[in-house]
Structure 1
Amino acid sequence: MIASLTGVVEHVSLDRAVIDVGGVGYLVHATPGTLAGLRTGERARLFTTMVVREESMTLYAFTDDDERALFETAQSVSGVGPRIALAVLAVHTPDAVRRAVHTQDVKALTRVPGIGPKVAQRILLELGGKLGAPTGDGAAGSGATAGTGGDQRGKVVEALVGLGYPAKTADDAVARVLADGGTETVADADVAATLRATLRMMGGRRG
């Protein structure tokens, strides 16, 4: 089992990256938030877990061990595989997920692409008691971070520029996503979700 990788970032795309460790390039899948923190040519350390299937072995990477643990635990829920588990972490911090389970917040989970009310209810039922109580460290993922305040749109644009998009292209794309959502600003709690929605809309185009 590969538990972590430390090496030079060789390539970053919309949903994956390649980390060069001692001349071996490891392909990892990750959330937009994790990928946005990687810079080509720079060293990075990622926590990883490998999902083995009959026809494939896929490595998933995370910024910290808490994310990795939640990713693995989420897959204990029937019907939740790596794709949905990763989508959960693209929208919510681990502590925000713990809070949703603790308060039985179906709405918070249905914000995740691919999760409808039935799957959300199953997650709340099957993860109850497995994640522990929220610690408060993930307040940013639940919209409770009053201290940061203000419009966080710049964070989304910066993340897109880090992924290789021109600044104007990134800014225009975020503006379109916000307009579609009927708002002009990004709350701190919505940075990850806005980034993911923008990446999906852009479809990999960097022109």
Structure 2
Amino acid sequence: MIASVHGAVRHVGLDHLVVEVGGVGLLVHTTPDTAAGAATGREITLETTLVVREESLTLFGFDTADAKAIFEQVQTVSGVGPRLALAMLSVHSPDDVRSALAQGDLVALTKVPGIGRKSAERLVLELKDKILAVGVGSGSTSPAATSGAEDAVHGQVREALQGLGWSAKQADTAMSAATSGEAPPADVAALLRAALRELGR
């Protein structure tokens, strides 16, 4: 089991990183937020889970041990695999996932692409008494950037949101709402977080 990795980032994708460890480049699947916070050439440490399948070995990486614990715990529920678990952490913070499960918040859970009402009910039923709700993640939406770079930032965020299951129209509507305030987000990570909050309303 690969429990963590530390090394230089060799490639940054929308939902994955390549981290060089001992001369070997490891492909690590992450949330878009984690990927956006990384930079090529910089050192990074990620808590990881190795998912072993008959035909593949897939590494998933997280900023914190807390996110990794949630990722592993939600997969104890039938029908929840690593991709869906990662989608939950792409839409909600670990504390928000705990809160939704502890409080039976089906609306919050069904905001995750791939989770319908029945799946949300099953998650709550099986995990409500096993998970400790630490609190609800807060956050104020921060809004838009500048023109030339703005198009590039919006394009990357749109692609990330579509990768998570939303349509281009939903992504554009969320970004528009997220950038309507007075303090625009200056980078991909900030806009992505704001857009995800809008989609989670």
Q: TM-score, normalised by structure 1?
A: 0.75
Query: How far 1:180 sits from its partner (Å)?
Result: 2.5
Query: How far 1:22 sits from its partner (Å)?
Result: 1.8
**Residues 87-140 of structure 1, C-alpha deviations (whole Å, 9 max, x = no match):** 0000001110111111110000000011111111111111122221x223x523
Structure 2 match to 1:55: 55
Amino acid at match of 1:130: K
Structure 2 match to 1:170: 152
**Residues 146-179 of structure 1, C-alpha deviations (whole Å, 9 max, x = no match):** xxx4x4135xx69xxxxxxx72323554697565
Percent of paired sites with the same residue: 48
Structure 2 match to 1:139: 137
Structure 1 match to 2:143: 153
Structure 2 match to 1:201: none
**Residues 56-80 of structure 1, C-alpha deviations (whole Å, 9 max, x = no match):** 1100000000000000001000000
Distance 1:196 1:15 in 2: 18
**Residues 13-37 of structure 1, C-alpha deviations (whole Å, 9 max, x = no match):** 1221100012111111010011011
Secondary structure at the aligned position of 2:19 is classed as strand
In the alignment, structure 1 residue 184 sits paired with structure 2 residue 177: yes
Distance 1:196 1:128 in 2: 23
Amino acid at match of 1:23: G
Structure 2 match to 1:116: 116
Distance 2:110 2:39 in 1: 31
Structure 1 match to 2:65: 65
Query: Retained in 2: the 8 A contact 1:152–1:191?
Result: no
Secondary structure at the aligned position of 2:72 is classed as helix
Structure 2 match to 1:128: 128
Structure 2 match to 1:86: 86
Query: Retained in 1: the 8 A contact 2:9–2:42?
Result: yes
Query: How far 1:190 sits from its partner (Å)?
Result: 8.7
Off by >2 Å, runs of 4+ in structure 1: 170-197
Distance 1:179 1:28 in 2: 28
Query: How far 1:195 sits from its partner (Å)?
Result: 6.0
Distance 1:18 1:177 in 2: 29
CA spacing shift, 1:12–1:128, aligned 2, 3 Å: same
CA spacing shift, 1:172–1:47, aligned 2, 3 Å: closer
Distance 1:92 1:195 in 2: 8
Query: Retained in 1: the 8 A contact 2:178–2:191?
Result: no
Distance 1:178 1:97 in 2: 22
Segment drifting more, 183-192 vs 112-121:
183-192
Secondary structure at the aligned position of 1:139 is classed as coil
Q: TM-score, normalised by structure 2?
A: 0.78
Structure 1 match to 2:41: 41
Distance 1:53 1:120 in 2: 25
Distance 1:33 1:13 in 2: 11
Number of aligned residue pairs: 179
Structure 2 match to 1:2: 2
